[in-house]
Amino acid sequence: MFYPALRMRRLRNNQNIRDMVSETSFGLQNLIMPYFVVNGENIKEAIGSMPGIFRYSIDNLVEEVKKGRELGIKAVLLFGVGCEKDDVASAAYDENGLIPKALMALKDAAPDVMLITDVCFCEYTSHGHCGIILNDEVDNDRTIELLGQAALAYARAGADMVAPSDMMDGRVGYIRQALDEEGFTNIPILSYSAKYASAFYGPFREAADCAPKFGDRKTYQMDCRNSAEALREAAQDIEEGADIVMVKPALSYLDVICRVKADAKMPVCAYNVSGEYSMVKAAAANGWLDEKKIVAEILTSIKRAGADIIITYHANDYARWLKEGSVNA
Whole-angstrom Cα distance, residue 27 to residue 319? 9
CB atoms near residue 54 (< 10 Å):
17
Of the candidates 44, 74, 213, 248, the residue annotated as catalytic is 248
Q: Report whether 99 contacts 117 (CB < 8 A).
A: yes
274 annotated as a binding-site residue: yes
Does 120 belong to an annotated binding site? Answer: yes
Q: Is 269 labelled a binding residue?
A: no
195 is catalytic: yes
Residue 233 is assigned to a ligand binding site: yes
User: Any residues with CB less than 8 A from the CB of 222 and at least 6 apart, and which?
Assistant: 167, 194, 195, 196, 197, 229, 230, 233
Which one from 44, 85, 195, 218 is the annotated catalytic residue? 195
Rounded-to-integer distance, Cα 114 and Cα 76, Å: 6
The one-letter code for the residue type at 51 is P
Whether 74 is catalytic? no
**DSSP-assigned letters across all residues of 131-189:** SEEETTEEEHHHHHHHHHHHHHHHHHHT-SEEEE-S--TTHHHHHHHHHHHTT-TT--B
Whether residue 83 is annotated as binding a ligand: the answer is no
Confirm whether residue 224 is marked as ligand binding. no
**What's the CA gap between 81 and 102, in Å, rounded?**
12
Show binding-site residues. 120, 122, 130, 205, 217, 233, 274, 313
Report the catalytic residues.
195, 248
Show binding-site residues for Zn(2+). 120, 122, 130
Show binding-site residues for Mg(2+). 233
